[in-house]
A and B are shown apart, each in its own frame.
Chain A
């Protein structure tokens, strides 16, 4: 049982490049989440998917898109990366609205 896995672990992009961060969970959870973590800002929700087939904006959705590919996978796409998107990105999953969220190991992204 791997829990929540994320790829890649590290990525360096140039401004304007695009990329997709991948996330998968093997706990049969209904909901999945993408957060970013910046020094002094804590964890901020980018997008979430309450269940397969649905996605909703979080606190900081601008510049990102998501796809809930199936129950297991939830990807985050940066269409045109900007230096302000330099951050550590965490994927999480959980059973439902008022339940624990379990986090992946993170992707460290640098945009030059």
Chain B
């Protein structure tokens, strides 16, 4: 079946380094993608999104890249800070009138001071 998955379940980086979190998706019909951050004991928090007519989108310290050819999504965090430590999820929507987001299982990012 269709699924969204992550290449790495855990990622440990040094404070100040750049972080890259990857996500593979298999539904070629997906046309909207979101990255969420979830801190321990809290709900998922929207970080950035991208639609399939784009291949890059930038926010504050974050960039999402979409490669439709290989069905790959990545989240880049610049100058990673201890407050960035969390689980990061990618989610996809297969478009049209489909209201359902399919979530990946998450990557735990740990930032070492």
By a beta-carbon cutoff of 8 Å, the part of chain A in contact with chain B is 4, 31, 33, 40-45, 48, 50, 56, 58-59, 90, 96-106
Which one of B58-66, B70-78, B98-106 is at the interface?
B98-106
Interface size of B in residues (CB-CB distance below 8 Å): 26
Task: Give Cα A35–Cα B93 distance, bound, in whole angstroms.
Answer: 15
Residue among A41, A43, A106 with the highest chain B CB neighbour number at 10 A: A43
Chain B contacts for A105, CB-based, 8 A: 42-43
Chain A contacts for B95, CB-based, 8 A: 98
Chain B contacts for A90, CB-based, 8 A: 43-44
Q: Contact at B103–A58, with CB atoms within 8 Å? A: no
The reply on B45 being an interface residue by CB < 8 A is yes
Q: Contact at B44–A100, with CB atoms within 8 Å? A: no
Tally of contacts, chain A with chain B, CB under 8 A: 55
Question: Taking A98-B93, A100-B49 as contacts, is the C-beta distance between A106 and B101 under 8 angstroms?
Answer: no
Task: Give Cα A36–Cα B97 distance, bound, in whole angstroms.
Answer: 22
Q: Contact at B46–A100, with CB atoms within 8 Å? A: yes
Q: Contact at A43–B103, with CB atoms within 8 Å? A: yes
Chain B contacts for A97, CB-based, 8 A: 93, 96-99
B residues 68-113 with Cβ under 8 Å of A?
89, 91, 93, 95-101, 103-106
Q: How far, in Å, is B27 (CB) from chain A's closest CB?
A: 13
Task: Give Cα A28–Cα B42 distance, bound, in whole angstroms.
Answer: 22
Beta-carbon nearest neighbor of B48 in chain A: A100
By a beta-carbon cutoff of 8 Å, the part of chain B in contact with chain A is 31-32, 34, 36, 41-46, 49, 51, 89, 91, 93, 95-101, 103-106
Task: Give Cα A96–Cα B100 distance, bound, in whole angstroms.
Answer: 10
Chain B contacts for A100, CB-based, 8 A: 34, 46, 49
Q: How far, in Å, is A41 (CB) from chain B's closest CB?
A: 7
Task: Give Cα A97–Cα B95 distance, bound, in whole angstroms.
Answer: 8
**Contacts A56-B99, A103-B45 given; 9 further ones with Cβ under 8 A?**
A40-B105, A42-B89, A42-B103, A42-B106, A43-B91, A43-B101, A90-B44, A97-B99, A103-B44
